[in-house]
Amino acid sequence: MSILIATQFTPAEWAQWEPALRQALPHETLLTAWPVAEPDAVDIAIVANPPAGSLRGLNRLRLIQSLWAGVDKLLADPGLPAGVPLARMVDPAMNEAMAETALWAVLSLHRGFFAYAKQQREGQWRQRAQRRADEVRVLVLGLGQMGRTVAERLARNGYAVSGWSTREARLHGVATQAGDAALPAMLAKAEIVVNLLPLTPSTAGIFNAQTFSQLRHGASLVNLARGAHVVEADLLVALDSGQVGHAVLDVFQVEPLPADHPLWRHPSVTVLPHVAALTDPRSAAEVVSRNVQAVRQGLLPEHQVDRARGY
């Protein structure tokens, strides 16, 4: 049986992935073009944002392995074969990268480094008050692979961290709460909100005029999850009024962020080009290999997506 690799990698990205995948799967036949000539010879698909419908007609699939952590786009594809185990990328190297990005953002907000960068552009010498990390309340939304690592890293760096999820979670040094009813009070206390929720029907647009109004005046948003979590028009209003003091945004409704989008030039926004935690082909290929071997041995793959929950 063969493995179909369905991605929209650029040649430069493929040049990194191909050797990593071939090294991790030395005995497998890897197909990189589709539709495939013999669909019934394909039992595993390795995917990274493939065009919708790419896996249609692959009736012998036993595993769909995503190279991305988030599977929202994949689940939105009506051509995604039903009933096939879908595994997402879970790699400690990615969690670590996400923790680095979140720590940089929180530290920069806490110590005013974004404001100092603006002062430099304006040639302004002005010292701001220096606060201790334990005086800064950070709320992490989503306590899964990324959120947990981020919340615990921030707590280890001395921040007063709380965390929110669907089900009760226990994390070292983090005050956790679960369920929709808990959110407004948590937002009201937070000075910095870090979003690490998956994009599902219940989390789409979760940052909107109402939730922004529940924040403390001047609180900051760090969105490292998905662009569709934020109603961008509402965010711009909240930034203009100062209700949201600063936004660090790695993800957007439309990516790449269109050149004329007001978020590019807003003085209270820091833009990253979806790089908070890139998949590292070296470690990710090993994760893929373990799941391929499991399936070949008749075992279940790890990190299966619960299609009903959407993550």
Residue 67 CB, shortest distance to ligand GLV, in Å, is 7
Interaction residues for ligand GLV, span 228-267 (CB under 6 A): none
- In eight-state DSSP terms, residue 37 is S
What are the distances in angstroms from CA 207 to CA 102, 202, 227, 233? 18, 12, 10, 11
* 203 lies in the site for ligand NAP, by CB under 6 A: yes
CA gap 272, 127 in Å, rounded: 26
Site string for ligand NAP, 159-198 (x = CB under 6 A): -----xxxx-x--------------------------xxx
Q: Looking at 274, 290, 296, 307, which residue is catalytic?
A: 274
Q: Is 279 among the residues that bind ligand GLV (CB under 6 A)?
A: yes
d(CA 33, CA 35): 7
Sort 276 into a burial class: Cβ within 10 Å, 0-12 / 13-18 / 19+. Answer: buried
Contact indicator for 17, 281 with CB cutoff of 8 Å = yes
Tell me how far, at minimum, the Cβ of 217 lies from ligand NAP, in Å. 24
Contact partner, 21, from ligand NAP, ligand GLV, none, Cβ < 5-8 Å per class? none
List, in sequence order, every residue forming a beta bridge with 45; answer none if it has no partner. Answer: 4, 64
Give the shortest CB-199-to-ligand NAP separation in angstroms. Answer: 5
Distance of closest approach, residue 41 Cβ to ligand NAP, in angstroms: 32
Query: Measured from the CB of residue 70, what is the shortest distance to ligand GLV in angstroms?
Result: 3
Active-site position among 110, 137, 148, 226: 226
User: Could you tell me which stretch among 24-32, 53-61, 224-232, 260-268 binds ligand NAP (CB under 6 A)?
Assistant: 224-232
| Minimum distance from residue 264 beta carbon to ligand NAP (Å) | 18
Q: Using CA atoms, how far apart are residues 170 and 132, in angstroms rounded to an integer?
A: 25
Inter-residue contact 120 to 171 (CB < 8 Å): no
Of the CA atoms within 13 Å of residue 50, those in its CB half-sphere come to 26
| Active-site residue flag, 226 | yes
8 A C-beta contact, residue 8 and residue 256: no
DSSP state of 30: E
Quick check: 208 and 52 in contact, CB under 8 A? no
Per-position x/- string for 31-70, each x denoting binding to ligand GLV as judged by CB under 6 A, each - no binding: -------------------------------------xxx
- Between helices 11-24 and 281-296, what is the axis angle to 10°? 50
140 binds ligand NAP (CB under 6 A): no
Site string for ligand NAP, 3-42 (x = CB under 6 A): ----------------------------------------
Q: What number of other Cβ atoms are within 10 A of residue 159's Cβ?
A: 26
Active site residue ranges: 226, 274
Q: Which residues bind ligand GLV (CB under 6 A)?
A: 68-70, 89, 279
Q: Which residues bind ligand NAP (CB under 6 A)?
A: 69-70, 94, 142-147, 164-167, 169, 196-200, 202-203, 224-226, 250-251, 274, 276-277, 311
